[in-house]
A and B are shown apart, each in its own frame.
Chain A
Amino acid sequence: MQTLRASWFGFEKHWTWYRRNWRATVVSSFLTPVLFLLALGLGFGSQVQSTALIGGVPYLEYLAPALVVVTALQGATFESTYAIMSAFLWQKSYVGMVATPITPAQVLYGQMLWIGSQMFVRSAVFVGIAVVLGAAAGPGILVSIPVATVAALAFSAPLVAYSATLDKPDGFTTIFRFVMMPMTLFTGAFFPVSQLPDWLLPVVWLTPAWHGIELARGTTFGTLDLLPALGHLAYLTALTAAGIALGVKFFHRRLAV
């Protein structure tokens, strides 16, 4: 109870910031997905022949639930790298927080709470835009909102833990280029992973993106059975939990010395 309360205060700090600065975040968080949906879904998609492999649905509808997940993952990547490093090293706001009754673990929980909420809101806005653009196959796409949030957290939590160990931001570029970009392009958002070489599939299965996309698309089109759905959810939850456990360790090591 105490922990929840203390974590909430961290969330409040971010909310205070957001109320002042939300305009600046609109472009990156909302405009980019709209452009993607327009260019790839409506524009490029108009030239794509639907096949049995993508379930015979229009490409725009095929793309939409996956893009919700991919967008949340990308947003979470930024929130889990420079923002974390700044709170440790540049602005040092975490250092200020642990001088109060708040503990390093509670600082982390508040941060994750904030990242999760932001990704939830972004995903909800994205789904709203998809509906307006006629990209929603049915009400099932609403499930993509929590799914995208969980997938984003599953990537964010380990990344936040990693960011807590760094002293300079050089490693982040590597993550953007060699983890986030391939994870965006090759985990089933734009084409079925069955088109990839077999040897690559195990790597794809490790990514939170693939599990999130499978869940979001499966629930949108009602093509996913309960058992695999629970499996995907379990994997994403496990990844989040492991990331937070590591994060608690690293936050403590960093802040309580």
Chain B
Amino acid sequence: MDNLVEAKALTKHFGSFEAVRGIDVEVRRGEAFGFLGPNGAGKSSTMRMISCVSGRSGGELKVLGMDPATQGPLIRARLGVVPQLDNLDTELTVRQNLQIYGRYFGMSRQKCREKAAELLEFAQLADRADHEVEPLSGGMKRRLTIARSLVNDPELLLLDEPTTGLDPQARHLLWDRLFRLKQDGVTLIITTHYMDEAEQLCDRLVVMDGGRIAAEGSPSELINRYSTREVLELRFQPGAEKPDLERFAERVEVLPDRLLLYTQDGEATLQRVHEHGVAPVQSLVRRSSLEDVFLRLTGRTLVD
């Protein structure tokens, strides 16, 4: 079995609200797969269906080759889930959190103790093992949540917005742990609204918007397909009328605070703009990113 997740025309609605409007997704064994999209795009609803907690409203879904509607507990036994909001037992110690979670999977006490010791090392929390969870920092709690999700040696790890709310250092530490998991052959599914996270972690991703899939591919494929090599960002005085620069670039996006000029060579474009007598307050040349892909596909920025 090469596909750990197969969804066809998958939908989810809550009352009359359609959160997921018919998506097709395949996640292959060993890859890191991403759902990229803004808040409310349907990512979390999709994740909850894949994690066999929430039932689907329509379409087909197979996880690990089984049907979540009838074999939920069997599937969940082989999944690891990192929720968007931590749900640790904050009045227990770090170690107890890991051990108790192992028990939920029916593991023996002995096995739970061994696994907890191993995961404490992995999460770099060994020195905090017997501290209560409540006073830990956000990054530490997040690492514990990830460690906890690995207690049953899952084949498929689902991470819903794993680094939202963390400082850059904590994020990089987390990414490093996730890389290691990927190297160990764990299949990852990640939702995020951070394009850098998606670019760093995902082999393949789908861009979601309004409950649908807008595009699918590897980060570099998507950038090649939907954007140019470079982007020239021009910032003008607030309130100043923005000049029409369409003829200098393949495409221009007008944002409230700046203009984005999509071009193969940003520096050359900047020079031509200058020669034309346009004087922005600030200019920046950068490589295209998934943010630009998203802007192109939906006409909106990812993080408002």
Contact = CB atoms under 8 A, between A and B. Distances in A.
A178 interface: no
Nearest to A103: B73
Interface-central residue, A9, A21, A96, by most chain B CB under 10 Å:
A96
A253 to B, nearest CB: 11
A100 B104 contact: yes
A17 B92 contact: yes
B124 to A, nearest CB: 21
Contacts of B88: 91, 93, 96
B14 interface: yes
Contacts of B48: 257
A99 B106 contact: no
Interface in B67-111: 72-74, 76-77, 79, 81, 83, 85-93, 96, 99-101, 103-106
B89 A95 contact: no
B105 A100 contact: yes
Contacts of B72: 103
Contacts of B85: 92
Interface in A82-121: 91-93, 95-103
Contact of B89 (A17, A98, A99): A17
A96 B83 contact: yes
A93 B54 contact: no
Contact of B14 (A5, A6, A98, A257): A257
B280 interface: no
Given A12-B103, A100-B101, A20 B87 contact: no
Contacts of A93: 87-89
Contact of A98 (B53, B74, B92, B93): B53
Given A96-B83, A99-B53, A91 B101 contact: no
Interface in B187-227: none
Nearest to B51: A99
Interface string A12-50: 110011001100000000000000000000000000000
A256 interface: yes
B12 to A, nearest CB: 10
Nearest to B132: A20
A201 to B, nearest CB: 44
Given A100-B101, A100-B104, A257-B14, A95 B83 contact: yes
A96 B15 CA distance: 25
A249 to B, nearest CB: 15
A16 B76 contact: no
Contact of B92 (A9, A16, A100): A16
A17 B93 CA distance: 9
A92 B91 CA distance: 12
Contact of B104 (A21, A95, A102, A257): A102
A103 B75 CA distance: 12
Contact of B73 (A92, A101, A255): A101
A75 to B, nearest CB: 19
A16 B89 CA distance: 11
Contacts of B99: 16
26 contacts: A5-B106, A6-B104, A9-B100, A9-B106, A13-B92, A16-B92, A17-B92, A20-B91, A20-B92, A91-B91, A92-B85, A92-B86, A92-B87, A93-B87, A93-B88, A95-B83, A96-B83, A96-B88, A96-B101, A99-B51, A99-B76, A100-B76, A100-B101, A101-B73, A101-B104, A103-B72
Interface of A: 5-6, 9, 12-13, 16-17, 20-21, 91-93, 95-103, 255-257
A-B pairs, top 5 by smallest CB distance, nearest first, are A92-B87, A100-B104, A96-B87, A99-B81, A101-B73
Interface of B: 14, 48, 51, 53-55, 72-74, 76-77, 79, 81, 83, 85-93, 96, 99-101, 103-106, 148, 152
Given A9-B104, A101-B105, 4 more contacts: A6-B106, A97-B104, A101-B74, A101-B77
